[in-house]
Structure 1
Amino acid sequence: MIIMLSVIVLFLGLGVVLINGKGSFLIAGFNTLPSEEKEKVNVIALCKFMGKMMFALSFSMLFWLLGEAYDSNWLFCMGLILFLALVVFMLIFINTGNRFKK
C-alpha cells in the first residue's frame, strides 16, 4: 500500500513538471530523436498532454489503492481497465495525425 502511494505521488510529481511545459527529456522516444526532428515538434504542447496523462494515470492508480484498502476486487479491476484504456488512448493519440508538429 505504501509502495502504491509512493508511485501515485511520483506520477503526480511528474505530471506537475510536465504540465508546466518542462521535462521533455523525461518523455521516452522524444529524448532519442535527432535534433532536426526535435525542432519539428511542439515541445510545450507535448509536455502538457503528457502531464495531463500522468494525472489521469495516477487517478486510475488511486482505484488500485482503494481496492486494496477496502479489499474490493472490482475497484482494482476498474482501475486496471481505466489504466490500460488510458495507455492505449495515449499511444494512439500521440502517434496518429500531426497533433504535436509545429
Structure 2
Amino acid sequence: MIGAALLFIVLGILIKYGKMYFLIAGYNTLSKEEKEKFDIKGIATVFRNTMFGMAGCIILGYFMAQKFENQDIDFIMFIVAMVVGIPYLLITTNSKKYKV
C-alpha cells in the first residue's frame, strides 16, 4: 500500500508543480476557449492537497497496521482514503468556485 501512497504523492507533485494538467481527466479534451473558463491552478492545488491527504491516510494505515499487527487496518485505511478522497476531488473541482 505504500506504493499507492507514493504514487499519489508523485501525481500531486506532477499536476501542481509539473503543470501536467493532461493528467486531469477531461481537461486536455477541452478547446482552448473552454480551458480558459477554468481556474486550472486552483484545480491543480485541490488535486495536490487531496492526493497528499489520501497518501497520508494510507501511510497512517500502514504504520497503524504494523503497530497493532493487524493488516486489515492497512486495507481499511486505503478504502477510506478512496471513498472520501475521490468524491471530494470530483465534487470540489467541478464546483463553480473554479469556473471563471
TM-score normalised by structure 2 residue count: 0.76
1-structure distance, mates of 2:73, 2:3: 22
Give the CA deviation at 1:90. Answer: 1.8
Match of residue 19, structure 2, among 16, 19, 22? 22
Equivalent residues of 2:61, 2:73 under 8 A apart: no
Which amino acid in the other structure matches residue 55 of structure 2? Answer: S
More contact order relative to length (CA 8 Å, sep ≥ 6): 2
2-structure distance, mates of 1:56, 1:40: 27
Which amino acid in the other structure matches residue 36 of structure 2? Answer: E
Which amino acid in the other structure matches residue 24 of structure 1? Answer: Y
SS in 2 for 1:31: helix
SS in 2 for 1:91: helix
Equivalent residues of 2:39, 2:99 under 8 A apart: yes
Give the CA deviation at 1:18. Answer: 2.5
Give the CA deviation at 1:79. Answer: 4.0
Equivalent residues of 2:27, 2:35 under 8 A apart: yes
Q: Which runs of 4+ in 1 moved over 6 A?
A: none
Q: Which one has a larger percent helix, Structure 1 or Structure 2? A: 2
How far does the alpha carbon of each residue in 1:58-102 deviate from its partner, in whole angstroms, 9 at most, with x for none? 122224534654324245324422430121222222223x11122
Relative to structure 1, the CA distance from residue 29 to residue 67 in structure 2 (aligned partners, 3 Å threshold; closer, same or farther) is farther
Report the identity percentage: 29
Give the CA deviation at 1:14. Answer: 1.5
Output aligned runs, 1:1-102, within 5 Å.
4-20=1-17, 22-66=19-63, 69=66, 70-74=69-73, 76-96=75-95, 98-102=96-100
TM-score normalised by structure 1 residue count: 0.75
RMSD (CA atoms): 2.3
